[in-house]
A = this chain, B = another copy of it.
Amino acid sequence: MSDLKTSLAAGRHYLAIPGPSVMPDRVLNAMHAAAPNIYTGPLLDMMDGLVSDLKAVARTQQNVAIYVSNGHGGWEASLVNTVTPGEKVLVLVNGMFGQGWANHATGLGLDVEVMDFGKRATWDFDRISARLTADNGAIKAILCAHVDTSTSYKNDIAALRRVLDRVGHDALLLVDCIASMGCDRFEMDAWGVDVAVSASQKGLMTPPGIGLVWFSDKAAQRQKSLKQVSPYWNWAPRANPEGFYQYFNGTAPTHHLLGLREALTMLVHEEGIENAWARHAVLARAVWAACGVWGQGGPVDMQVPDAVDRGHAVTGVSIGAPNGTALRDWLSENLGVTLGIGLGIVPAGDPDWHGHFRIGHMGHVNAHMVLGTLGAIDTGLKALGIPHAQGALTAASRVCAGEMI
């Protein structure tokens, strides 16, 4: 019987983790290319459009720098270009990645103040407002995640901007959009964001290897006042290059550019960013509907209680130890689905670490993929005897059918 179950994993394995996400064949095919000419020709000619499309994704008319790096490189770039060692930054945290960015800032010699709202709460804007009101201009930048991949909390960036404006604080607003860009609505210019950080491997459907930093003209001005900016992270030549190599401080990431070009064609030109956001919204609601039903008869519990606070690209779930790890392992071995590990809810050594998992539903994702993942979880709950209410999959298909539940 176990042999038999094992064989249900043959077929195309599905990676339902919150990044690196499933990539389109078209992106991989675009990257299956001979080394291109780097002096002249198509690769150079595509840059204007690529930059323009990257701005469209973040909804900005301002600036963008492309880095050969991962998302942490984007974190470092955003800080190196805006603040100088010893300066104070305020970090709003409701998840592991918010804290991670804070730690990164500390490592760069910044004076880091963390305002931690826990793993299961939204920001307290009163607290934020009071802190900013009390500040005498020492805080040079506010760092926060749009969606924290670990908890799946989505934070209200527009509201944060309103607070800043109301109290008249001049700090730069830096937002980590690594988990949300291309998935959740993000309006850099309309929301008054100064720096947005993302990377290629989630909503942008391209292998990891590209960090992206969008920045406002205000941030660009601030950068000019800094005594020193590392040549690699310096965003000025990258955003306003005189030659092709200046986009990248040296050799271009040729194959990632080809892949990203194809991904942006799909996202911006074929589907449209608004449609992509809408797709993610429905698919997220399908996931939540299933989780909601399961939870009515057992331990399945979404990390974020209120739907309005949930990101559309990832859903954190607690299910009680050791159910989380057991479910993840069973699905991977028996059904061909890998779920995301729970990250940062409890420390790695804690036995309760095995009580969490995450469902990634970002980027190149559709109803078939999500419903298959939910079907796999429903199967796993049954196979492992984890209590749950029936009807979760029906609830998900009702959402995909257009019902508002």
Contact = CB atoms under 8 A, between A and B. Distances in A.
Among A22, A29, A253, the most chain B Cβ lie within 10 Å of the Cβ of A253
A188 interface: no
A366 interface: yes
B231 A335 contact: no
A76 B7 contact: no
A157 interface: no
B402 A1 contact: yes
Contacts of A192: none
A39 B335 contact: no
Q: Name the interface size band of chain A.
A: 35 or more
- Which A-B residue pairs are the 3 nearest by beta carbons? A372-B372, A371-B375, A11-B366
A3 B275 contact: yes
Nearest to A365: B11
Interface stretch (A51-59, A215-223, A316-324, A378-386): A378-386
A20 B199 CA distance: 23
Contacts of A229: 107
A252 to B, nearest CB: 6
A254 B208 contact: yes
Contacts of A75: 232
A217 B256 CA distance: 34
B379 A230 contact: no
A28 B370 CA distance: 25
A379 B366 contact: no
B68 A70 contact: yes
Contacts of A394: 378, 390-391, 393-394
B76 A68 contact: no
A17 B36 CA distance: 10
Interface stretch (A119-127, A134-142, A166-174, A276-284): A276-284
A72 interface: yes
Given A375-B375, A380-B401, A4 B278 contact: yes
